Structure 1
Amino acid sequence: MAELSVVIPTRDKAASLRATLSALAAAVVPADTEVIVVDDGSDDSTAAVLDTFVDRPGWSVVAGPRRGRAAARNAGAAAATGRQLVFLDDDVLVGRTFLLAHRASARPDTFVHGPLREFPAARRWLAEHVDTPPAELARYAAQVLAADGHRLLRNTLETLVLAMGQQRVPPVAPWLACIGANTAVPRKVFEAVGGFDEDFGLGWGCEDLELGVRLVAAGLAARVVDRAAGVHLTHARPGRWSQHDANLERFVGLHDLPAVRLLPVLLGEGGGVRQYLAALGVQDRQTGVPAS
């Protein structure tokens, strides 16, 4: 049995997956760590990318059920043996301490989020490195993580999660830290609460936050660990907000909480952290965070 299982769902994102795996392969690997990539029916060059990495000890590929990210993550978790499940997206760069940080932070009563920043120039960066060998690509990824010559941003969700983690604002919604792009969960609790809700289907958004609500209800505390941080390779997502709206409607139907109903105030156009907190009754003077 492994101590740490990293689950990476992917579909038709070969270029970003290659960067993610290159960076992960360069990380310091604790003993008893496994990496499971769930190929959820890719039609691009994902198979060729995976062939470059899967011969590494402890790395494997499983076929996904092609029913969306929730189902793909559950498939990876079902194949995993680790006591701690680390869910990492296929478009996130991580540093050398990523695995060590998640291993050291594992607790039976805690789920852990590694904070993320956005990389607006990611598409150009990926195009520049399409032929860069993995080891060299990992060095370039480290420069991005260090913001060495690259501009990084933090979105409103991550800004609030970080502020709650640093106790600069009240923990109005600790479940917001369950961001599937970089979050670790004790396996026993993940299984006890039923994993990700696969009825969110193929649409984008909310399936990870909804799991967070159930984890908090099961008694888990949220923790933000800087040494497990990553950078999201920002990309366009056609139909993003229509899909998000549909998934948010399901989320509210499952958990009719003010912090859930008001998510558009945080995430929607013109929204921001202060607006969200104010809508929840938290005064601006308490926040210590930017308006958006």
Structure 2
Amino acid sequence: MSDKGLSVVIPVKGRVAEMRRLLESLRPAVDACTEPVEVIVVDDSGPADAEAHQDTCASLQARYLRGPKHVGAKRNDGVRAAAYDLILFIDSDCLATEHLLQRHVQTLRNAGESVGAVAGPTFVQGVDNAMFRIMSRSKLLNSAFEWPAQARQVGWATTCNLAVRREAFEAVGGFAERPLTVVGGEDVDLGLRLTEAGHAIVCDPEAVVVHDKSSIESLGTVCRRLITYGQSGQWLLDVHARRGRPKLNRVSTLSATAVAGPLLLPAVAAVLLAVDTRERLGDDAPTVRALAESIACAGLDWCFDLGEFIAAWQLGRPDRLFTGFGWTDDPAFVWNREPAKRYGG
């Protein structure tokens, strides 16, 4: 049996400066926690970055482990090395708030035995640039980070801010170690297996993590993340097949149009873009800036559909070109207020 306390597990590759900032932010949180805390960093960086991480861990009282490539496998290694009965997962490009650890410990200790995990919200730190304004309209990028501030209970949660009872985590087999992509989908899969096994995931809106703004600063970063999210959805359909839902995949629709009636392609694309732009505009006045941001957001969100399209072929499942994953459409999600940004429902 594990000792009573909290083990913080952080997977990393590269991100030397970000990791230092995270470990620095954890020091006040460790001091504010009433139970013993250890911090474990699991890394598969190249030699130069690995040496830098080791130096950072030595100076900021964290344990350093070498780990495998996949993020889920890294987290599993961290849990196996952990000393305590509660585990907090946080990502290397995040910052801890002062009372983060105490909130997770307190909420889990006070919860009934049916509660297997606590999710806290993650907020992207403010940055006022065009990309941030555009993607603030997206249902897909970062929306799941904020759900624990809007719900009492969720069916899964992002593992940039999730605390679990080690016993429940081990009972369901931990993270999938070889999903389709190096990172993406393993957190959803874990959450679904926990809830299906009867281990509820409750929310603590006061257990806050801050996410580094670099995740939304560049076009390339945004596109890669959305494609990965789409790919992970198709992989999740392999392991949770009953959650498949009919979906109008934009990329699949345009591909089918290009084959069946290429002259119709511009018109079909314009209609799809107009519908998606209107949705992202919401209640905003249709100013030039609002329209431009909504159009750009709609176009970038199609990267998610592109990821689904690519993965359907990667997995040999072209029959799923018009099938999406049901991300939140189950009773495990109990909302305090219906979120403005909810996808897959």
Partners of 2:57 and 2:64 within 8 A in 1 = no
Unpaired runs of 5+ residues, structure 2, are: 130-135, 216-220, 250-275, 277-297, 305-324
Distance 1:83 1:281 in 2: 29
Distance 1:106 1:260, change over 3 A: farther
Distance 1:106 1:288, change over 3 A: closer
Match of 2:91 in 1: 89
Shift of 1:29: 3.6
**Cα shift at 1:257:** 3.8
TM-score (norm 1): 0.71
Q: 2:211 aligns with which of 223, 226, 232?
A: 232
How many residues get paired?
244
Kindly indicate whether the alpha-carbon contact (under 8 Å) linking 1:6 and 1:86 is maintained by their aligned counterparts in 2.
Answer: yes
Cα separation, 2, equivalents of 1:122 and 1:187: 39
Q: Deviations over 1:242-266 (max 9, x none)?
A: 333332211111112448877x99x
Secondary structure of 2:118 counterpart: strand
| Residues 13, 44 of structure 1: 8 Å contact kept | no
RMSD: 3.6
Taking the aligned partners of 2:174 and 2:330, their CA distance within structure 1 comes to 32
Indicate the residue corresponding to 1:118 in structure 2.
Answer: 124
How do residues 9-88 of structure 1 correspond to structure 2 at under 5 angstroms? 9-27=11-29, 28-55=32-59, 59-66=62-69, 68-88=70-90
Following superposition, the deviation at residue 209 of structure 1 comes to: 0.8
Identify if the C-alpha distance between structure 1 residues 19 and 160 changes in structure 2 by more than 3 Å, giving closer, same or farther.
same
Residue matched to 2:150: 163
TM-score, normalising length from structure 2? 0.61
Query: For the pair shown, which has the larger CA radius of gyration, 1 or 2?
Result: 2
Determine the C-alpha separation between the residues in 2 that align with 1:122 and 1:26.
28
For residues 180 and 83 of structure 2, the distance between their equivalents in structure 1, rounded to whole angstroms, comes to 25
Which residue does 2:159 correspond to in 1? 180
Contact 1:19 1:93 in 2 (8 A): yes
Q: Which residue identity lines up with residue 155 of structure 2 in the other structure?
A: W
8 Å CA contact 1:196–1:211 kept in 2: the answer is yes
In percent, how many aligned pairs have the same letter? 27
Native 8 Å contact 2:226 2:301 kept in 1 = no
Aligned match of 2:232 in 238, 247, 262? 247
Deviation at 1:50, TM superposition (A): 3.8
- Which has the bigger relative contact order, CA under 8 A and spacing at least 6? 1
Q: Counterparts of 2:145 and 2:54 in 1: how far apart (Å)?
A: 30
Greater helix share, structure number: 2
